[in-house]
Structure 1
Amino acid sequence: MNHFTLDIVTPTQNLDVIEVDYVRCPGIDGSFGIMANHQDGVFSLDIGEIMIQSKSDTKYYSTSGGFAEINENEVCLLVETIELSSEIDISRAESALQRANERKNKKNEEDLDEVRMESSLSRALNRLRVAKR
């Protein structure tokens, strides 16, 4: 299988640049896959799971969104956050889910930002789902 270069960048860190065979990303219009020689472009990422396959293994990550830039067989994922499934703190994610649900139940209060609350809920649910990988 052909491979390509993958670079993952967050606001606080750059992960190692690696050679991979396939990446599946959570696009805002649904998941999409990237293989070697993919057409160039920039794609918006949603909250979801990123799967990265290399010659030696498959890894799953939780992300809270960002962008995928594909340019001449090089892919750069510019993401807000990224967590390897095995490194997700399940108790912290469960606490975040509980807080998000509590905010959702108080949605009659004036100061509640519904979009922010829904985003918090989605991120917590995604982290718990990916942690089970």
Structure 2
Amino acid sequence: MRKWRPLIAVCLGTFMLLLDVTVVIVALPDMASGLAASLTELQWVIDIYALVLAALLLGAGAAADVVGPRRMHVAGTALFALASLGCGLASGPASLIAMRGVQGLGAAAMFATTLSLLAAAYEGRDRSFALGI
């Protein structure tokens, strides 16, 4: 079991990133009424996450080369979790949009390091299996 801990950690992190997109889409009607958000603001709630994630993915990978992929992944996970808390506590559309942007930053740090973490943790057949999962 110990052998597969890195794979489990990376898969759970990636699942969390993808689940976040789905959860937000499902929650849009409640956000519209609870936060009195306009259609434009709701679009930004969705789009800012993807925009920041895509814009910073390569830079996060380069930063991981400097500080180390494990350290970058842990920092990204912590930032993503704190931003998720901030999203839950958001009192208005502007603060929610800002926290979603911070989530995108954490997601970029996590996503940029997944393959390098798996490549460093496994060799041979185990690496092929881990990358396949």
TM-score tier by shorter-chain length is 0.3 to 0.5
Higher relative contact order (CA 8 A, sep 6+): 2
Structure with more of its chain in strand, by fraction: 1
Q: Which structure dedicates a bigger proportion of its chain to helix?
A: 2
Q: TM-score, normalised by structure 2?
A: 0.36
